[in-house]
Each structure stands twice: as structure tokens, then as C-alpha cells.
Structure 1
Amino acid sequence: MSETSPVQRRPAGELEASVLAALWAAGEPLSPAEVQRALGGRLARTTVTTILSRLHDKGAVSRSRAGRGFTYSPIQDSAGLTARRMRSELDKQDDRGTALARFVSQLTSEDEQLLRTLLEAAGDAPEGPSAAPRPGPGAGP
């Protein structure tokens, strides 16, 4: 009887991140077969198609009909996707204040200063459809 090593699963999101990286690098819409090739053929085409479908369901990629299949394009760049994920996680919290406080408490001093600078700049920006209302001191939820 031969010994087999346990199958190691990839960390959650690693395959999606690899597929998105391939799409960003291409700079043009790709079919699942093209994504598979861009990833070095390590994944089955059905796996790539499943990942692309899940990314589409999550709103991370758009797809366009191409013959009998689809081509896929990322909706946002890497920074935009990270921001969207952060917002999505924050929206799941009942106590947003505590979640934000814990996030801020884990920032490096450089990131904290950068966040302060960005918040100050956002406060100077003209209000528009994308500008979120900023509650005043003591404002409740």
C-alpha cells in the first residue's frame, strides 16, 4: 500500500486572486481558455470557468458574449477591489464603530497618517453623488 500525502487546499480567495491578476495583466477581455493559458495551464478549464462565474456573481468581473461562450474583464483594479471588499466586510458589522476602531488600531503609523491625509482631502472635496454623508459629533447610527 502506498502512502499519500494529504491534499493541501489553497487559501480562500487564492484562485480568484490569480484569475483576477491574469485579467489585469492582459488588459483586455479574456475567455476562460485564455485565462487558463495565462495561468500556465495549472488549472482545468472547468475550474477557471467556475471561478470566473463566481467572480461575475460577486460583481468583480463583467462578461460579454463571444461566440458560444463569454469573455471576462475586471470591473476594478486591485486597489478598487480591496476597497470594495473592505466596505463589504464593514457592511456586515452591527457595530461599525468598533470594527473601524479595531482596524485603525492595527494600522502602522505611516498608514494612519496616510488615512488622516485622505480623510482630510475627502473633507475638502465637493459633495457629489459619490460623496457619503459625514455624521457630526455625537450623531447616532
Structure 2
Amino acid sequence: MRRLGELEAGVMVAVWKHDEPVTVRTILDELDRDPAPAYTTVITIVERLRAKGWLRRERVGRSFQYAAVRTAATYTAELMGDVLESSADRGAALQRFAGRLSVEEIADLRAALDERRRSGPE
């Protein structure tokens, strides 16, 4: 999976903040960039993300609203998987990663592993 560019990632973060579809204006207003990109630039990025399968759009009145197809957690997990796959020593990479986790994150990881064990292989 290709990593999102900086502006693409900013657009996705703006969309992920909402439970409902959002307009390009809402996305633009939530982008934390100085200077703010032009409205037409954001439209271009949004449409590219839609073409890549990251966003879906629906017509509401005379405009479009956009919603994420994948969650932020799914994107992050895919990135982590890509990095792990590129590692020469997956076990060492996992151990180093685990060594950086907080107590709360370790508990979350342990719960996810327990759930995975209960659900069986994919």
C-alpha cells in the first residue's frame, strides 16, 4: 500500500474526524496548514482520494459530500504491516516495537492478540 502524501493525509484526518459525510469546505476549514491550500486544490486531492478508493461521495443538493471508505485504524495497521513485511528480522522488529509501548498499549495489544487467538486463523 502506498503511503498517503502530506496533503492527502491531512484531508483524510479531516474526514475521519466526522461520523457523517463532509463537504470540501468543511475539509478545507479543518486542514491545519499555513498557508491554507486553495479550495480547488482540496477538490483535486479529494477527487484523487475518491479515485484511489479512499473516499466515497454522495450528492446532497447541488454539492457533494465525502466520507471515508477505510478507517484511520485500518490505514495505520496497513502501514505497520508494510513496515513489518520490509523488515529483515520481523521478530526483532516486533520486540523493539513492543518495547516502546505504554502499559495501556500493551494491554490493548494483549487483548487484540487474545481475540485473534479465539477467532482462529484467517
TM-score, length basis structure 1: 0.56
Q: Is the 8 A contact 2:87 2:93 kept in 1?
A: yes
Superposed CA RMSD: 3.6
Q: State the partner residue of 1:118.
A: 112
Higher relative contact order (CA 8 A, sep 6+): 2
Shift of 1:116: 1.9
Query: Structure 2: how far apart are the matches of 1:33 and 1:102?
Result: 42
Listed as ranges, the gaps of 5+ residues in structure 1 are: 1-11, 133-141
In structure 1, the residue corresponding to 2:36 is in which secondary structure?
coil
Alignment partner of 1:15 is 2:10: no
| In structure 1, C-alpha distance between the alignment counterparts of 2:13 and 2:106, rounded to whole Å | 28
Contact 2:14–2:31, Cα closer than 8 Å, also in 1: yes
Identical positions, percent: 36
Cα 1:92–1:32, aligned 2, differ >3 Å: closer, same or farther?
farther
Q: Deviations over 1:37-96 (max 9, x none)?
A: 55499221343234335544664x133486xx9754212222222222212222333432
Aligned residue in 1 for 2:67: 73
Aligned partners of 1:31 and 1:119: how far apart in 2?
Answer: 38
Look at both structures and tell me which one has the larger radius of gyration over its CA atoms: 1
**1:63 is aligned with what amino acid?**
R
In 1, distance between residues paired with 2:48 and 2:85? 20
* TM-score calculated relative to the size of structure 2: 0.62
Q: For residue 43 of structure 1, what is the aligned residue in structure 2?
A: 37
Match of 2:56 in 1: 63
